[in-house]
Amino acid sequence: MIPRTHLLIVLATVALTAAVSVYAYPRLPNPCPIHWNLRGEVDDYGSPLTMAMIAPCVSLGVAVLMAGLPLLGPFRSNFEKFRTTYGRLAVTIMIFFLGLQVVLLRAAATGTVHIGPTLCVLLGLMFAVMGNWMGKIRQNFYIGIRTPWTLANETVWEKTHRLGGKLFVAAGLISTTTGLLAGNTVCFVVLMSSIVGAVGTSVLYSVVEYRKLGQIDDLAHDLVH
């Protein structure tokens, strides 16, 4: 279901993530930092091999998963309606993993990277880019704002994703700007609050739009009242 061009880019990005890890491996300290706390301080160590292999393995797994999801479950035919958008989302996620691995490897090798702000920028950019395409996602069980109300009605799905896309772009831009200007704790608070705000608002909006159609269920009634 992923367009061939996008699939090739996804595979190339996974290969590049692995190549970056192979290049950095001899330069990693032993023991090697593998986790940082909210203050950007190293709080766990592991082997250089662990640090080098995590991102390539995860990105390969995600690539396989995204290639296979459109073939599974209900709404399979809907993927054809937004296959180009789905391909773009897959490429965006893979590029994020590549950027994340570069950041983590450099932080582990040199200790000169401000982890919190840098990740805030990376995640912010990813959410902003993905939000720009959310309005084109059609009903499915795997990606998007999947609530009982968006899955129950196509109109509710489309309206929720148009709003959610704008909110995700705003949350991404706010997070990116914060990452460029603030420290670890502020970046974490802004990133989490902006994403939770975007998701929470989208979920509540889906309830309201569902009720406007006169299709009320007990859960929607409890959330609104």
DSSP class per residue in 95-148: HHHHHHHHHHHHHHHHS-S-HHHHHHHHHHHHHHHHHHHGGG--S-SSSS---H
The predicted pLDDT at position 216 comes to 52
For residues 109 and 5, state if they share a domain.
yes
How many Cβ atoms sit within 10 Å of the Cβ of residue 216? Answer: 12
For residues 163 and 105, state if they share a domain.
no
171 near 197, Cβ under 8 Å?
Answer: yes
The predicted pLDDT at position 215 comes to 55
Cβ neighbours of residue 101 under 8 Å, at least 6 residues apart? 17, 20, 21, 55, 56, 59
The predicted pLDDT at position 114 comes to 86
The predicted pLDDT at position 201 comes to 96
Last residue of a domain, one of 113, 136, 157: 113
Last residue of a domain, one of 61, 88, 113: 113
The predicted pLDDT at position 72 comes to 80
DSSP letter, residue 25: G
For residues 109 and 159, state if they share a domain.
no
Number of domains in the chain: 2
Last residue of a domain, one of 50, 82, 113: 113
pLDDT, one tens digit for every residue, the chain (225 residues): 788 899 999 999 999 999 999 999 999 998 998 888 877 788 888 899 998 998 899 999 999 998 888 888 778 888 889 999 999 999 999 999 999 999 999 988 888 888 889 999 999 999 999 999 999 999 998 899 999 999 888 899 999 999 999 999 999 999 999 999 988 889 999 999 999 999 999 999 999 999 888 755 544 444 444
For residues 74 and 180, state if they share a domain.
no
Query: What SS3 state is found at 174?
Result: helix
Please give the residue range of the domain that contains residue 158.
114-225
Quote the CA–CA distance of 143 and 145 in Å, as a whole number: 7
For residues 166 and 201, state if they share a domain.
yes
For residues 127 and 45, state if they share a domain.
no
User: Helix 115-133 vs helix 154-181: angle between axes, to the nearest 10 degrees?
Assistant: 150
pTM above 0.75, yes or no: yes
For residues 66 and 90, state if they share a domain.
yes
